[in-house]
Amino acid sequence: MPDSQYDLVIIGSGPAGSTTARFAAQHGLKVLLVDKRQELGAPIQCSGAVSRHALEEVGITPDAEFIHEPIYGFGIYNGRGEKTTIDYRRLKPEEYGPEDGKKPLGYVVDRRRFDRYLMTQAERAGVEVWLKTEGLSYRPDANGSCEVFLRRFNQEIKVKARILVGADGLQSQVGKWAGLRTHIKITELASCLQFIVDQVETEGLLEIITGHEWAPGGYAWVFPKGHGYAEIGLGVISTMTDKDAQWHLDKFIRQSFFKDRFENSRILEIQGGGVPLAAPLRTQYADNLILVGDAARHVNPITGGGIHTALSGGYIAGNFLAEFLNSGQPPTAQNLEGYQNAWLEALGNKMWKLYGVKADIFRNNDIEERDALLYQTMAGYFSPNSEYKKI
């Protein structure tokens, strides 16, 4: 094989792309992973909350290199400040806690370091990584492969691949190249903003504040960030308010039941970005191509969390593609439907169900009823008996 020919070319080295790459390479595929950024994960557009289980499921050992703070549970609030506490240190004290022999439920990770760590794990598995390399387009050829056009350090180049993986995040272009319907409705795109602050006390819980009053169409959050820092943020749906996320965040900080708690906080950093609270794409494959992670809308439509689903989607994609290519089948759209079926069975059917729950809540035009439903759903979602625990 000439150097420019790969089994897989993967566009995007976030959690989805690097996990797909790692598992495919572990099974012997020749993989090229590219990212247009020169520093992975930067600028940070994520709060970094992820369960321990999500990491362990894909063979990532929680490592001080990327962990800001361990998490032991949740505090879920309604709009009036009434709270449901789900603290695993109290629910299962023999298993969860900071003491030796016990474990946290999850972590707040530093996305810059986390993405670099995942990329390094992929490299160690044999993946070739090119940073500062942008995917431009792809073209299936007559031999069952495809040509992938890239811009690397301002130079346009072409490589060959048997399959192209679009792991290029929320604003994915890769699916569009293949004519997939990737459009996100404005009613399902949360616009998120968060401040990194100091002088806000936290106690090892992810705090989630529901209620139209504070975050129309979404929720507000207070996450511990380690070293005495915290993240205060929220996501709103623009069609449910005539104000922007910053206006709502200022109001939440100055007027909510937390205003005294936030009184002395200082803003050290501002981060933002979009989160699709949408259904998974109905078609996530085409000739010589599949999508994974945010690009395929593998995002939890209730919480907006996408790290866990990007990691598990990458695991499913990497393993599927290795088995698929080793079986010698041609990578036609029809054959690659098997990827989506594997994903639906492992994860996607539950995500579709969650999307149904979310759609039912926001279909309700009575704000009080909707607020009550969202609060109950969030509290139920994070409870130890939740059927959605693994998403």
Ligand X SMILES: Cc1cc2nc3c(=O)[nH]c(=O)nc-3n(C[C@H](O)[C@H](O)[C@H](O)COP(=O)(O)OP(=O)(O)OC[C@H]3O[C@@H](n4cnc5c(N)ncnc54)[C@H](O)[C@@H]3O)c2cc1C
Contact footprint for ligand X (CB under 6 A): 11-17, 34-37, 45-50, 134-135, 167-170, 173, 192, 194, 272-275, 293-295, 299, 305-308, 310
Closest among 281, 23, 351, 1 to 10, alpha carbons compared: 23
What number of helices (H) and strands (E) belong to the chain? 10, 18
Whole-number Å distance between alpha carbons of 116 and 96: 28
**Secondary structure element (H or E) that encloses residue 250, with its range:** helix 245-255
Closest distance of CB 364 from ligand X, Å: 25
Whole-number Å distance between alpha carbons of 165 and 318: 10
Closest distance of CB 325 from ligand X, Å: 22
Beta strand 229-237 pairing with 189-198: antiparallel
Closest among 4, 20, 236, 1 to 133, alpha carbons compared: 4
Phi, psi for residue 368 in degrees, rounded to 5:
-65, -45
Q: Which is nearer to ligand X, 249 or 336 (CB)?
A: 249
Facing residues of 249 across strands?
A: none
Q: Which is nearer to ligand X, 26 or 194 (CB)?
A: 194
> Using an 8 Å Cβ cutoff, are 233 and 200 in contact?
no
Closest distance of CB 194 from ligand X, Å: 6
Closest distance of CB 272 from ligand X, Å: 6
Q: Which is nearer to ligand X, 335 or 378 (CB)?
A: 378
Q: Which is nearer to ligand X, 181 or 363 (CB)?
A: 181
Alpha carbon separation from 256 to 192, 210, 249, 297, 347 (Å, rounded):
18, 12, 10, 32, 36
Closest distance of CB 330 from ligand X, Å: 26
With tokens 């090229």, the residue in question is 32
Residue nearest to ligand X (CB): 306
Closest distance of CB 13 from ligand X, Å: 5
Q: Which is nearer to ligand X, 302 or 374 (CB)?
A: 302
Q: Which is nearer to ligand X, 102 or 132 (CB)?
A: 132
